[in-house]
Structure 1
């Protein structure tokens, strides 16, 4: 956002809540991976975990859409957008490298950061559609349920989302249908900033200030929490012999 623009504390706090939920989810996943969560869980099949994952990703992408509405409202130009976009792209590459080391058979080729890299550009270009964003988002959400083809099942094409089967990977956030969630976040942000700006710009209670701080550093927390968790658990296992 423009340096002179308003601070969107409530949006930051909402993003911070998503960060906390994600960190707790990943902590449980790591404990399970290292055999420290009993009874052992199946994070890939059990609805208790799969639905949480869906909700966490949805909240992140919705916040990303809200964030784009706020950035445009604050006058963010393309140069500043591309600088932030390049940071996300670099982090997405690091996620792929790290996951290939940790999970060589199911490494992440198009996870949530990869999806955000593509979707940020599409959402930015779609912003002038304004009221049409709601039906467009609905269409994007429905399209993968209506159209699938085997040509989209490879690692080089599954990022589109029209797959006939989910790929073997630790994280998969294709453009379709997830772009629809970000479009709805953008549409909601535009509507709120025109009619109820205080809902995004208003101050948060003192108890929620830590969440707002986390929300401002969401990308850093996203990139650092897993190396810290995994490194700590590997050290713990080594000490136990």
Structure 2
């Protein structure tokens, strides 16, 4: 007779799950390859349209989706392990601080299209919502689908039936963080609340289900994938450092080539 796997128990010391860390690490590697290609394009080594070519726009969508899904997974695991609100707010403050640094850095590099509500900005808002709703469990699958559908339907309605004045209101910076825009803002990264909250909610729902299975999160990771798990443990630090390193390397290559 087989024993039913135990759910993840609340503990004062958070337990790391290599499978989740590796999935987050995969998102980091994919993001790095994407950003390196973008940087090569900016330096003139490639000739690609990263803003309209489906090869690149779909990659960006998938990378952001994986990133936010992993964030939802992590939040569900943290709640299952009894993470306190003070500990949550400390981590949240790190995400918000990094988001502000991204805004400052992008304003220095791209003053006409700086990042004011990118992936970290969106994540800071979504993490609060995810934390408050994590106990809703399986209902988050439906809420996630609803968040995505709401964005699609609302934008279609605004485009089709609404007045130009209403579209202007939602397209303005004061409200375009909601995601109900009829035209993409001029910014290098844009991750609004809708539809992306739906993806994070799916991550929370998946994480809640996995923590109840217990053993599902403890699958042994092949040795070849352990570097991904290590990278996933330091995802925020890596996120903040990888672009300066890539840009610095390309600048050095350009300088040496002169």
Q: Which of the numbers 21, 28, 40 marks the counterpart of 2:37?
A: 28
Which residue of the other structure, out of 12, 15, 19, is the alignment partner of 2:21? Answer: 12
| 2:112 aligned residue | 105
The correspondence for 2:49, drawn from 31, 42, 49, is 42
Q: CA RMSD in A?
A: 1.4
Q: Following the alignment from structure 2 to structure 1, what is the Cα–Cα distance between the partners of residues 191 and 50?
A: 16
The question of whether the paired residues in 2 share the 8 Å contact of 1:6 and 1:201 is answered with no
| TM-superposed deviation, 1:3 | 5.6
Offset of residue 210 of structure 1: 0.3
Distance 2:18 2:227 in 1: 11
1:79 corresponds to 2:97: no
CA deviation profile, 1:103-146 (whole Å, cap 9, x unmatched): 11111110000000000000111112112111111110111111
1:125 alignment counterpart: 132
Structure-2 residue corresponding to 1:188: 206
Q: Distance in 2 between matches of 1:41 and 1:230?
A: 18
Match for residue 96 of structure 2?
A: 89
Per the normalisation by structure 1, the TM-score is: 0.95
| Mapped partners of 1:95, 1:89: distance in 2 | 10
Which position in structure 2 is the counterpart of 1:214?
Answer: 231
Which has the larger Rg?
2
Say whether the 8 Å CA contact 2:12–2:82 is kept in structure 1.
Answer: no
Aligned to 1:177: 195
How far is the alpha carbon of 1:7 from its aligned partner? 1.8
- State TM-score, norm by structure 2: 0.89
Alignment of 1:224-239 (within 5 A): 224-239=241-256
1:41 and 1:199 map into 2 onto residues whose CA distance is 41
Q: Which residue of 2 aligns with 1:163?
A: 181
Change (3 A) 1:200 1:150: farther
Closer, same or farther: CA 3–207 of 1 in aligned 2, 3 Å: farther
Secondary structure of the structure 2 residue equivalent to 1:194: helix
Match of 1:153 in 2: 171
1:2 shift after superposition: 6.0
- Checking the alignment, whether the CA contact within 8 Å between 1:7 and 1:201 is kept in structure 2 is no
CA–CA separation in structure 1 for the residues paired with 2:30 and 2:115 = 21
**What are the Cα deviations for residues 29-77 of structure 1, in whole angstroms up to 9, with x where unaligned?**
101100012xx00000110011000000000000000000110111101
Q: Is the 8 A contact 1:115 1:175 kept in 2?
A: yes
Give the deviation of 1:17 after TM superposition: 0.6
Q: How many residues align?
A: 238
Alpha-carbon distance in structure 1 between the residues aligned to 2:81 and 2:220: 17
Where structure 2 has 5 or more consecutive residues not aligned to the other structure, the ranges are 1-9, 156-166
Structure 1 unpaired stretches of 5+: none
Match in the other structure for 2:70 = 63
